[in-house]
């Protein structure tokens, strides 16, 4: 209704602003990188310091471009991609945030997986939202395991398991409802977006949870 529209309007305005800022960060970053490279060319005392700076600048650049892709809603763009590579990118993007929350993310690729027809950026957004929930479910830290496997029918299965408190039975049917959140500053939009994206891929997503043990998000994508 009106309130929902207003909130989603506000959300996309925020997303656009964030994408604009990310874009502005890239210009000074390029300039910084250029000057560090110049310094390196002038036989400095400690060239290894400059190498660290270059690596870190590349990392900022990677984070900013990933962020830009996600913040700005983009039209779907399907192509054949490897889910293993997509998952590895997202794990490396989330690693610093995970460490900050004393959380370990493990990527376990069980089978040789065929490339699948997908929208890479949208799939990344799904993994980000699910990982974010898993991290938030474990305020004391813990382990998150992402498992990729091949189903008998050739579908690629992604399961993401955390060691959080689990989801009370009465909430299970509400997951993915717009604005359903149990968090003080949650949006209740993360899972809704995930379901929409997986549906657009003609895949399935469901969540199983055991209280006191943890939660698993199961995603299946057609070959």
Q: How far is the CB of 13 from ligand ADP (least distance, A)?
A: 18
Judged by CB under 6 A, does residue 137 bind ligand ADP? Answer: yes
Judged by CB under 6 A, does residue 187 bind ligand ADP? Answer: yes
User: Pairing mode, if any, of strands 116-118 and 204-210?
Assistant: unpaired
- Residues numbered 56 to 85 that lie near ligand ADP (CB under 6 A) are none
Cβ pair 203, 219 in contact under 8 A: yes
Number of residues that bind ligand ADP (CB under 6 A): 20
Closest CA to 191 of 152, 154, 170, 219: 219
> Judging by beta carbons within 10 Å of its beta carbon (0-12, 13-18, 19+), is residue 131 exposed, middle or buried?
buried
Judged by CB under 6 A, does residue 133 bind ligand ADP? Answer: yes
Residue among 133 and 215 whose Cβ is closer to Mg ion? 133
What angle, 0 to 180 degrees and rounded to 10, lies between the N-to-C axes of helices 47-71 and 120-137?
100
Please pick, from the candidates 103, 121, 125, 215, the single residue that binds ligand ADP as defined by CB under 6 A.
215
Judged by CB under 6 A, does residue 182 bind ligand ADP? Answer: yes
Chosen from ligand ADP, Mg ion, none, partner binding at 159 (C-beta under 5 to 8 Å by type): none
Query: How far apart, in Å, are the Cα atoms of 89 and each of 53, 124, 138, 153, 206?
Result: 21, 8, 22, 26, 23
Q: CA angle at residue 101 from 96 to 105, to 5 degrees?
A: 60
Find the part of the chain contacting ligand ADP (CB under 6 A) among 69-77, 100-108, 115-123, 159-167: 159-167
Find the part of the chain contacting ligand ADP (CB under 6 A) among 28-36, 45-53, 106-114, 179-187: 179-187
Cβ pair 160, 133 in contact under 8 A: no
- Residues forming the site for ligand ADP (CB under 6 A): 129, 133-134, 137, 162, 164, 167, 175, 180-183, 186-192, 215
Interface ranges with Mg ion (CB under 5 A): 133, 190
């Amino acid at each position: 209704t009106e309130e929902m529209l207003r909130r989603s309007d506000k959300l996309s305005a925020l997303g656009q602003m964030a994408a604009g800022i990310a874009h502005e960060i890239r210009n000074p970053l390029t300039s910084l990188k250029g000057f560090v490279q110049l310094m390196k060319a002038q036989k400095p005392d400690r060239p290894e310091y400059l190498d660290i700076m270059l690596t870190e600048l590349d990392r900022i650049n990677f984070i900013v471009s990933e962020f830009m892709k996600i913040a700005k809603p983009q039209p779907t763009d399907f192509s054949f991609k490897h889910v293993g590579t997509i998952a590895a990118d997202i794990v490396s993007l989330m690693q610093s945030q995970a460490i900050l929350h004393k959380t370990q993310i493990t990527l376990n690729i069980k089978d040789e997986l065929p490339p699948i027809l997908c929208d890479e950026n949208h799939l990344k957004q799904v993994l980000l939202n699910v990982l974010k929930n898993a991290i938030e479910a474990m305020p004391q830290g813990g382990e998150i395991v992402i498992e990729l496997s091949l189903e008998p029918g050739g579908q690629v299965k992604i399961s993401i398991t955390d060691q959080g408190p689990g989801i009370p039975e009465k909430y299970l049917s509400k997951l993915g409802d717009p604005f359903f959140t149990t968090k003080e500053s949650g949006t209740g939009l993360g899972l809704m977006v995930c379901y929409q994206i997986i549906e657009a891929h003609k895949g399935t997503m469901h969540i199983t949870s055991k209280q006191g043990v943890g939660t698993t998000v199961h995603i299946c994508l057609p070959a």
